[in-house]
Structure 1
Amino acid sequence: MKPYVLRVVISLIGTALYGRIGFLVSLVLIAMTLLYVAIFYNKYGMLLSICGVGILVIILFVANAQTLRQINSINWMFEGFFNYLDSGKFSTKSSTVLMSMFVHPSSQTILFGDGYYTVMGKYYMSTDVGFLRPLLFFGIFGEFLYYLQILPLLKAIYDRLKNLNASFFVMSVVVLLVLFEFKGESLMTVSNMLFVITLAVALKSRISSQL
């Protein structure tokens, strides 16, 4: 257990330094995993211990917030948290800009799309919202088919990992994809990741069958 905890902590620090959305998504997936393990493997003691450590870290963070926010990297990483302490509202400059990018296309655009992805080197309608870009280009039916491309990959992984928490893995991938799509397009990246996992699982199954 301890090696996994260390790896998670290191990964979280790296993710936080690279992108805040990745850090938030990682926290959500970690919380989901802890609940899953506690419920299905009766590890409530572990869950309570980790929650206790998390609460202690938050208390120490709040108590030293004024000092920590003087460090530029930490101030950037936890901008939303610091803003919440100051104003009671969790927000960042990027999230404020992102909210303005939730455009409201016409009914015709929703149904059939406009056929534009970029205009003059910028995303069509200047939106950075991942699930809006294919909608504006394809329309709702094209977008539906666009997202369906991950189903064969998920099914292939699920079929080979039925006895290894495959359902939870599929659910985690879906949650990851949905959350990342609010900030930018991530479907192709997730698809590439699933493709590699599918090949790895298939290769391992083939090797195991030959032993």
Structure 2
Amino acid sequence: MIKNVILYIFVGLMVSLYFFPIGFTFLPSNINSKNLIALIGLILAVLHAAQNRALQINKDILGAIFIVICYCIVGYVSVDLNNTQDYSYANYFVSFTVWTFGAYFVCSLINFAHGDFNIRLLVVYLAYVGIFQCVSAFLINEIPIVKSLVNSFVEQGQFFLEDIRRWYGVGASLDSGGVRFCIILILIAGLLVKDEIVRSSPFLLISLVSSFFVIIIVGNIISRTTSVGSVIAILYLLLNTGMVRKLIPVKTIRFNISLLVLTGLFALLAIYLSQIDDSFYKNMRFAFEGFFNYIETGEWRTDSTDKLDDNMWIWPTDTKTWIIGSGKFEGFIYGTDIGYCRHILYNGIIGISIFSILFLYCFVVFANRYNKYTIVFFMLLCLGFIIWIKVSTDIYQIWAMLFVMTLIEKPDNKSLLLASDKK
């Protein structure tokens, strides 16, 4: 039993280092946990190919690879036509490959630990990783010795984060951390609605719902981008659990009661901490600034949305840039973080259209393969396009894990995250 617990903790740590990458103070700055995990994944894939005397390839990912190649070609054309040396997104195939092989390692590790790999296991691990990030962010902010210990080993731009007084976990910070929290929240909501095994297991039900609310509260303190996933996930739960119907299905009563009780408990806890801790109250005001402003002034607004509206909607000024871009992306060269602006300014409408097709393709592939979760995948697709209103990051890492899952999952296996279920 103890060995299994240690193994599960180790697997969770690897998932965290993949999903929330960190740098190390004792390694060169260009080496981070994601790259190291991808290297291990590549070696593991080669070993598996040698063992099986065949290279096992997911045919669905071949379509994604073709789209990525087309996208990179457009990027190289833009760089060449504009005579720049900025290969930020022209070399996207490198990021694509790193995420894919990294996913191969962590997914194989989950499969090794449980004898299976499916959507349930994936979401449970991501939920626990999410709550670990939130708890670590709280401890780092509240306990100086914890902050000193983490900062002595982890490099994640923490000095800048401290200058602007922002919470951070072990790899979770700013918009990139918020986007990953959004993914986790949407997946938890999907699992709670669609997975009967989770709903019938008190331990999994309580732990997932608790993770859901902790991530909403602390995730928004770390990054208000988390609010995007929070809204999507909450709306999905309200519309699919019978809570807004006149007649509530009997099979959802226990879940709805659990959800309401835990909602009340976490709301009371947040109010209590806000009353006794001025620092926590200020962080709550930052996290939910839009709600506070709406209640106090009747106007929904935040400082970040004001900046987006006033300063960051910057578009090309000539036809060539609109079509093929300027080949410039690095840094804050155009004074905007907005994903749509930055992508179009880099490789034009052609580039952003092909890039969008990549994620549309991922949605279609997994909606067809796991039609039970079609709406969940559609929410992830929407998330990817919504966050481009604020930042230029993407969410391929979760699609990469799903691509790998189709290689190693065992159909109709109902194993849970419990040692007794391991075969």
TM over 0.5: yes
Structure 1 residues without counterparts, runs of 5 or longer: none
Using the alignment, how far apart are the partners of 2:294 and 2:362 within structure 1? 40
1:117-174 per-residue CA deviation (whole Å, 9 max, x = no partner) reads 13xx423x21111121111111111110012222443344233312xx2311221111
Hey, what's the Cα distance between the residues in 2 that align with 1:207 and 1:88?
A: 51
Find the counterpart in structure 1 of residue 303 from structure 2. Answer: 93
SS of equivalent to 1:5: helix
Alpha-carbon deviation of 1:199? 0.8
Deviation at 1:13, TM superposition (A): 2.3
Is 1:173 the counterpart of 2:380? The answer is: yes
Match of 1:79 in 2: 289
Counterpart of 2:325 in structure 1 is: 113
- C-alpha offsets along residues 48-84 of structure 1, whole Å, 9 cap, x if unaligned? 99689979x99xx99xx99998722112112222222
Code of the residue aligned with 2:337 in structure 1: it is: D
Aligned to 1:142: 351
Distance in structure 2 (CA, Å) of the matches to 1:179 and 1:207: 34
Q: CA deviation at 1:47?
A: 6.7
Distance 1:49 1:199, change over 3 A: closer
Which letter maps to 1:117? Answer: F
For 1:135 and 1:69, the matched residues in 2 are separated by 43
Say if 1:153 and 1:175 are closer, same or farther in 2 by CA, change over 3 A: closer
| 1-structure distance, mates of 2:364, 2:382 | 16
Distance 1:85 1:180 in 2: 25
Q: Is the 8 A contact 2:359 2:381 kept in 1?
A: no
By how many angstroms is 1:194 displaced? 0.9
- TM-score with structure 2 length normalisation? 0.40
State the SS of the aligned residue for 2:225.
Answer: helix
Q: 1:197 aligns with which of 393, 398, 402?
A: 402
Within the candidate set 4, 9, 14, 2:218 is matched to: 14
Change (3 A) 1:174 1:79: same
User: Which piece of structure 1 moves more, 106-115 or 169-178?
Assistant: 106-115
Measured in 2, the distance between the counterparts of 1:186 and 1:84 equals: 29
* Equivalent AA in structure 1 for residue 228 of structure 2: L
Q: Is the 8 A contact 1:160 1:202 kept in 2?
A: no
TM-score by length of 1: 0.74
Cα 1:88/1:207, change in 2 over 3 Å? closer
Compute the RMSD of aligned alpha carbons. Answer: 3.7
After superposition, the Cα gap between the structure-2 partners of 1:91 and 1:206, relative to the gap in structure 1 and judged at 3 Å, is same
Structure 1 contact 68–74 (Cα < 8 Å) conserved? no
Identify the match of residue 185 of structure 1 among 367, 386, 392.
Answer: 392
Tell me the distance in 1 between the aligned counterparts of 2:308 and 2:256.
34
Residue of structure 2 in register with 1:36 after alignment: 240
Gaps of 5+ in 2: 1-204, 414-422
Asked if 2 retains the 8 angstrom alpha-carbon contact of 1:34 and 1:47, the reply is no
Alignment CA distance shift 1:47-1:181 (3 Å): farther
Cα distance between partner residues in 2 of 1:141 and 1:24: 27
Looking at both structures, which has the greater relative contact order when contacts are Cα pairs under 8 Å and sequence separation is at least 6? 2
Distance 2:233 2:227 in 1: 10
CA gap 1:105/1:52 in 2 versus in 1, 3 angstroms: farther
Q: Deviations over 1:73-118 (max 9, x none)?
A: 1121122222223322211111111112112433513223222213
Amino acid at match of 1:192: Q
Going from structure 1 to structure 2, the CA distance change for 1:47 and 1:185 (only over 3 Å counts) comes to farther
Q: Distance in 2 between matches of 1:28 and 1:68?
A: 30
Q: Classify 1:156/1:92 alpha carbon distance in 2 versus 1 (closer, same or farther; 3 Å).
A: same
Letter in 2 for 1:176: L
Letter in 1 for 2:293: N
